[in-house]
Amino acid sequence: MTNAVTKPHRRKKRVARTLCADQIVFGLFSIFCLLLILRNSEAAIAYVTRGLLLCARTVIPSLFPFMVLSELIVAGGFGRALIRRIYTPIKRLFALSEAGCCAFLLGIVCGFPIGARCAVSAYDRGEMSKSECERVLCISGAPSSAFLISAVGASLWESRTFGIALYASVIAASLVTAFVLAQIKKNSAADAPDEFAALSAPTLRGAPLFTHAVRSATEGILSVSAYVIFFSALTGTVELVLSPLSPSSLVLAAITSILELSGGVSQAAALDHASVAAILTAAAAGWSGLSVHCQILSVTDGRALSLRPYFLSKLFQSILAAIFLALLIYIFPALLSSSNTGGL
């Protein structure tokens, strides 16, 4: 009898000790990052300082007001009133509800993670289905207009016109992705009905609405800053480790773009060949970097939302943004001649 009891118990222990694939991947990644930073601790400290300065000078001033105001617009119900006139064509093109349309438009104008926060907030209140929330996450994570036009265009490329073209390319990629996802949704209409959040957040009004928006935005900006600082240290130490191999500036710019957006577009803009620099800048803006993706993961934490479509959509948008900007440069060569990169 004891053997019959203990054998299943041992089997359960063995099953519990078995790690799944994502645990193994993240575990190995964490060990790699730990060894990397320990081996280059002084450089890591310097890059953490750089990340803190980036948050203080750029991230917090450009994002925090948008996060507070967008929370007020969505939670207060103003979003639906604002988009009511343009809702019908958007619904036909992208198959979005009023709440989804509001999150989508705010994400396009204000940039990440505003759209994701608005979508998840609407899902928590039961105003958006689970499948729609997952679709909105895929199409509302573009960099903000202020970042692409001012920081990238005017500052890095010394051309606001180039920044506008870059922003138009990224938004066009998001719109095409939204249309494709809507067609997929329509074709799968016979699937199981959409699921809504089990519990709806309480409706807030007046002063509690404002204090909730500020508190929520503060929590969000701390999360965003934490990811920016960590990935600043990670990208810096990766570049330091690769330096003995003498990788080309293009390779370093591509690696940095995969990990972190602001560093990626900075290095891409400094490439010698203007066309290559522009296309890589657009691809980096469309992809947005793992740092931003981790911010989206933190926003959706605990809600069992599938983010596999999100990562595939961001890869698709990266390719589309590069293609659209290349077409604009082909049609309007003055976009490059009027701009200036670090190596030109």
Phi, psi of 189 (to 5 degrees): -65, -20
Would you give the end-to-end CA distance of the chain in angstroms?
Answer: 81
**Whole-prediction pTM value?**
0.78
Give per-residue pLDDT as tens, 51-89: 888 788 777 877 788 778 777 776 666 656 666 667 778
Residue 12 domain-assigned (yes or no): no
Residue range of the domain that includes 229: 44-188+203-336
Residue 8 domain-assigned (yes or no): no
Residue 242 domain-assigned (yes or no): yes
Residue 13 domain-assigned (yes or no): no
Nearest Cα neighbor of 142 from 298, 337, 287 is: 287
Phi, psi of 68 (to 5 degrees): -65, -50
Q: How far apart are CA 296 and CA 309, in angstroms?
A: 13
Q: Omega before 113 cis (within 30°)?
A: yes
Provide the number of structural domains found in the chain: 1
- What is the number of other CB atoms lying within 10 angstroms of the CB of residue 141? 26
Q: Can you give the pLDDT of all 344 residues of the chain as single tens digits?
A: 455 545 555 544 454 456 666 567 667 767 877 777 777 777 778 888 888 887 887 778 777 887 787 777 766 666 566 666 677 788 788 888 888 888 888 888 777 777 888 888 888 888 888 889 999 999 988 888 878 888 888 888 888 999 999 999 999 999 999 999 998 887 765 444 455 544 444 455 667 778 877 887 787 788 778 888 888 888 888 878 787 888 888 998 898 899 888 888 888 988 989 999 999 999 999 999 888 888 888 888 888 888 889 999 999 999 999 999 999 999 998 888 766 554 43
Residue 27 domain-assigned (yes or no): no
Q: How far apart are CA 224 and CA 59, in angstroms?
A: 8
